[in-house]
Amino acid sequence: MSDSLKTPQFAPVGEKEVTRAIVEGFSEEFSEYITSDVIIVGAGPSGLVAAKDIAKKKYKVLLVERMNYLGGGFWIGGYLMNKVTVRAPGQTVLDEIEVPYEEVSEGLFVADGPYACSKLIATACEAGAKVRNMTLFDDLVYRENGRVAGIVINWTPIANMPKEITCLDPIAIESKLVIDATGHDAYCVSRLSQQGLYRKLPGHGSMWVEKSEEALVEYTGEIHPGLLACGMSVNTTFGLPRMGPTFGGMLLSGKKVAQVAVNILDEMD
């Protein structure tokens, strides 16, 4: 029998060792990231690009995602079809993460959604970003003059349980900066508005691809001391048109907010 067909001999490890490894590994990382340089709320394409670029600068980055999986809508290009489109110059990000694509018309590129999304997740993790998935954004942490200094979190399943059995306080984690990458709902900026620290949000406009992506990147940046926004959160905050199933603006918004964040952090240091 060839070596490739032989039954492998696994290491003699039992249940308690497996459980201990999970608990200790999670606890150690959780404790280390109670304080971070940047917390990014939302791990869609914009948040992942931001995480990748900031972590490459050797800052501590924590991605908080309410779902079990990362990537948001980047897995699916639209109408359950898994090809994603990117308008120039957004394909430069695909080049960075080495995802192949096809130019189907001048300035319009198509890539495989699962390939692009999984590669972006991998590059963010490889850059050093850590992930807290199945974690729900609950509130903001404030300091003097209303500066944002972290977020309040809880387990995602808590939100789907009857209130009679979920009287469970959340916990807070701190950071120098928070980035709202929560998409259409703009949860972080909305919370700021509810507290009277920011104006009422107009919500995003209807679809207009040609106008939306340039405006998105233009308006990406710091919303309030300590709070930045990227991706569709920006559209909701400023009443910009939506762009639908094309991702160049999402990717470049992530790159811009990362640069803004790094500039702020460099000045703090």
Domains of the chain by start residue, with CATH? 38-75+114-268 (3.50.50.60)
Question: How many separate helices (H) and strands (E) can be counted in the chain?
Answer: 8, 13
CA 72 to CA 150: how far, in whole Å? 22
Report the amino acid identity of residue 160.
N
Gyration radius of the chain's alpha carbons: 20
Does the pTM exceed 0.85?
yes
Which pLDDT value is given to residue 167?
78
Cα distances (Å, whole numbers) of residue 184 to 4, 33, 57, 108, 167 = 50, 27, 28, 24, 28
| Alpha-carbon torsion (54, 58, 62, 63), positive or negative | positive
Q: How many degrees, rounded to 5, is the angle at CA 169 between CA 22 and CA 33?
A: 45
Q: How many degrees, rounded to 5, is the angle at CA 79 between CA 210 and CA 49?
A: 60
CA 218 to CA 221: how far, in whole Å? 8
Which residues of the chain fall below pLDDT 70?
1-3, 166
Which pLDDT value is given to residue 2?
65
Which pLDDT value is given to residue 1?
55
| Alpha-carbon torsion (220, 222, 194, 200), positive or negative | negative
CA 28 to CA 26: how far, in whole Å? 6
Report the amino acid identity of residue 140.
L
Helix (H, G, I), strand (E, B) or coil at 67: coil
Number of neighbouring beta carbons within 10 Å of residue 46: 36
Show the tokens assigned to 215.
């405006």
Which pLDDT value is given to residue 92?
99
User: Model confidence over 114-129: pLDDT tens digits?
Assistant: 999 999 999 999 999 9
